[in-house]
Structure 1
Amino acid sequence: MALYPSHDSSAVKRTLTYGSFAASALLSGVERLRGMDAVWVGNSPITVAAPMWWIRHRYRIPVLLHVLDLWPDSVAASGFVGDGRARAVEGVLGSWCGHMYRSASRIAHISPGVGELLRSRGVPADKLTYIPLWAEEQFTRAQVENLRAELGLAENHLVLVYAGTLGRTQGLESLVDACAKVDDPNFRCLVAGSGVADAELRRRAQEVGAGNVRFLGRVPKDRMPALMATGDIHYVSLRPSPMAAYTMPSKVQAILAAGRAMLVAADGDVAAVARESGAGIPVGAAHAAGVQDGIRRATALGRDNLRVLGERGRDYYHRTFSAETGVARVESALAEIARPEVAHVSG
């Protein structure tokens, strides 16, 4: 499909990206769906509504709408819209989403919190189904060498890894501040990724004396399995916000699938997974004192016990988040909404 690609901070360019996607899908994509029994649609971006509405109302094809991002919440949190126009834009987007929800035959949500929020916005409970996302499992199946030797890490070093966006939402200054106060000489923290807070976090690490924190920059995707294997425990954090309670970072599934323990500095659905899986040390929303306590608990457990937590997490992943489980849920939902004559034949 033809697309104007932009992922920078310009609201105009981002709108062009979303709009060109919808126009291209309408012009070159919807005809290929004619005659389908049911269609699975991801709602990000929400301009996908244009081809969705066409196939729903023109061809009478039932739609399973998978809510991958919450709109207008994600736009409001991104800061793309200035305060003067925010309320008007949120109103338009909220109405747009409401029409999408009404048009869909079934709506899938990726975390329990999102399901609760959708119900509060008027989506009938019997229209909702829980279908969480899964990890890129090809990166977690193969046995890989870790990066300890390459990074000069000793066998007795307990390593905490953060890999992802270095942005405002993650509240990573709490991690840096906490690491500066850890007095265990064998503790090391690796921070991999890039983002708007990168330079600020590096300065902060110098200012507070966090000599046990090492910034790796962006790590190529094909080296992520080795980085995952390097960490004894992986860090997941979200700064307190209205969205944090129902945000589920994709790294959660990746960490669980890789069989690694988690230190979770967040509330809501992420903290619930940390507790239910048995793989996590939940410390509440990101703040230095809580993170420091979580690191202390991790170092007290030691590397061998953290591996046990990771194995529990891998088992939980296969029961709850695996691609096999997720695809089965998608297929079941599609079968339930398929045109009656199709559902009758398949049954």
Structure 2
Amino acid sequence: MRFGLLSQWFDPEPGPAALPGVLARGLAARGHDVRVLTGFPNWPTGRLAPGYRITRRADEVADGVHVRRVALYPSHDGSALRRLATYGSFAASALVSGTPALRGLDALWVSNSPITVAAPMWFLRYAHRTPVVLHVLDLWPDSVRASGFLHSGRGGPRLAERAMHTWCGAMYRAAARVAYISPGVGEVLARRGVPEEKLVHVPMWADETPTPPAPDLRAELGITADRVVLVYAGTLGEAQGLDTLVDACALVDDPRLLCLVAGSGTAERRLRDRAATTRLTNLRFLGQLPRERMPALMAAGDIHYVGLRAGGMSAYTMPSKVQATLAAGRALLVAAEGDAATVARDSGAGITARPGDPGSVAAAMREVCQLGREKLHLLGGAGRAYYERTFSVAAGVARIEAALQQAMATGRRR
């Protein structure tokens, strides 16, 4: 079959932007003719990846996948205007210069983020009658509000939010299938009027690219074998509620516990000052580590911390570190509500605590120490088995392939 992928993000962009590339190769490996429409790679820095220059359009073939790249304005700084220019320029270029590359498809997979991608999606859906599977990787306008680009108040922000709800509603109606990444997101979409027969659960996977054996970061940091290491790696922002983690460390006097915090963000300075004020000896800040050091950091942790501030989108947010930790065969300590906590319990790999409650997190840390490294590694093994069944690339590609085939059948009936 001939399947298309429409996404502003694609290889060689890292992290979540690598999802469409993994999907494209997975579908091609299953014998499908795969066509991709995307932009020139510039995420997350806003600078073009080495070896690329922006032209009106460029075609390439990689791993049996045909890729059409179209011009865009690259920017990922804090300016809402420049961000809108990035999203809008890709949508316009994709509509004018990219859609001819996606003619004659049996079905089309579309990443919903950013929602400006609706312009080429609608053209392909209505002008070429291409059945669409819309994958809701970010809820809009919720994610925009959470990022701070929509400020609370009357007037403009409310009008913008209402307009985005209307826009997204039109995207959902155009799609034959609407895929969601966690049960909580599926419930939100159902409340927003997406028919149940359209909804399909397709959770995200971790990066399964083979990596060379990781160096022993524990030895490098002078961590003895009797220490139980809890790792937090990621953004140090407000949404993660990491003040709770710092305060919990202050409540635990078990000498076996050591917490490593790696990453950067708007809350980093405050968190470092908070730890320094309480003179914590069981918490170390490692700063922002290079991406190639992540496997070593993952291996160094006996258990990994996932935190989300209560309220807002936390009930239906699934941080990518949940899948990454399960894939690495490591245990989880989750201080969050909703879907992330459910996975921690269902997988058998996790210990949960109440978000925003240092006492609850400290009690979970004491439980971690009592379990010890050997039992924590057994929890990690259970998590790896759960990942294979639920989150793996093979499982995800199979679900999307099935959704595309269902979209084809729906399109034929129409």
Q: TM-score, normalised by structure 1?
A: 0.95
Distance 1:323 1:304 in 2: 28
1:37-62 Cα deviation digits (max 9, x unpaired): 00100101111111111110111100
Could you tell me which residue of structure 1 aligns to residue 73 of structure 2? 4
1:166 aligned onto 2:205: no
3-state DSSP class of the match of 2:253?
coil
Distance, in Å, in 1 between the alignment partners of 2:225 and 2:288 is 24
Partner of 1:112: 183
Preserved contact between residue 37 and residue 342 of structure 1 (Cα < 8 Å): no
Give CA deviations for 1:274-315 in whole Å, capped at 9, x if unaligned: 000000001122321111111111011000000000000000
Q: Deviations over 1:10-38 (max 9, x none)?
A: 21121112112212222322111000100
Q: Which residue of 2 aligns with 1:49?
A: 118
SS in 2 for 1:216: strand
Q: Which amino acid aligns with 2:312?
A: P
Mapping for residues 88-167 of structure 1, pairs under 5 Å: 88-138=159-209, 143-167=213-237
Corresponding letter in the other structure for 1:125:
E
Matched with 1:30 is: 99
2:331 equivalent among 261, 284, 299: 261
What's the secondary structure of 2:258's corresponding residue? strand
Q: Quick one: distance in 2 between partners of 1:207 and 1:232?
A: 27
Say which SS state the counterpart of residue 378 (structure 2) adopts: helix
| CA distance in 1: counterparts of 2:78 and 2:202, whole angstroms | 30
Q: Structure 1 CA distance, aligned partners of 2:269 and 2:204?
A: 32
* Higher mean C-alpha displacement, 269-278 vs 21-30: 21-30
Which residue among 144, 163, 166 is the counterpart of 1:75? 144
SS where residue 105 of structure 2 aligns? coil
AA partner of residue 305 (structure 2): Y
Instruction: Report deviation, 1:142.
Output: 5.4
Q: Deviations over 1:305-340 (max 9, x none)?
A: 000000000000000000000000000111111267
Percentage of matched positions with identical amino acids:
60
Which residue of the partner structure matches residue 199 of structure 1? 269
Contact (CA 8 Å) 1:61, 1:339: kept in 2 or not? no
2:309 match: secondary structure: coil
Unaligned runs of 5+ in 1: none
Which residue does the alignment assign to 2:367? 297
The farther-off stretch of 31-40 and 82-91 is: 82-91
CA distance in 1, matches of 2:284, 2:296: 16
Identify the structure with the greater helix proportion: 1
Q: Counterparts of 2:262 and 2:410 in 1: how far apart (Å)? A: 50
Query: Are 1:270 and 2:336 counterparts?
Result: no
Instruction: Choose the corresponding residue for 1:288, options 358, 363, 380.
Output: 358
Q: Contact conserved, 1:38 with 1:337, CA < 8 A, in 2?
A: yes
Q: TM-score, normalised by structure 2?
A: 0.80
Q: Could you say what secondary structure the match of 2:207 adopts?
A: coil
Partner of 1:226: 296
Gaps in structure 2 of 5+ consecutive residues = 1-69
- Which is strand-richer, 1 or 2? 2
Cα distance in 1 between the residues matched to 2:263 and 2:410: 48
Question: CA contact under 8 A between 2:341 and 2:352: conserved in structure 1?
Answer: yes
Cα pair 1:107 1:128 within 8 Å, conserved: yes
Q: Does 1:63 align with 2:137?
A: no
Q: Does structure 2 retain, via aligned residues, the 8 Å contact 1:177–1:210?
A: no
Distance 1:99 1:241 in 2: 28
Amino acid across the alignment from 1:120: R
Task: Work out whether residues 75 and 82 of structure 2, in 8 Å CA contact, stay in contact via their aligned partners in 1.
Answer: yes
Letter in 2 for 1:46: I
| Distance across 2 between alignment mates of 1:13 and 1:57 | 30
**1:317 corresponds to which letter in structure 2?**
Y
Question: What does residue 17 of structure 2 align with?
Answer: none
Amino acid in the other structure paired with 1:30:
T
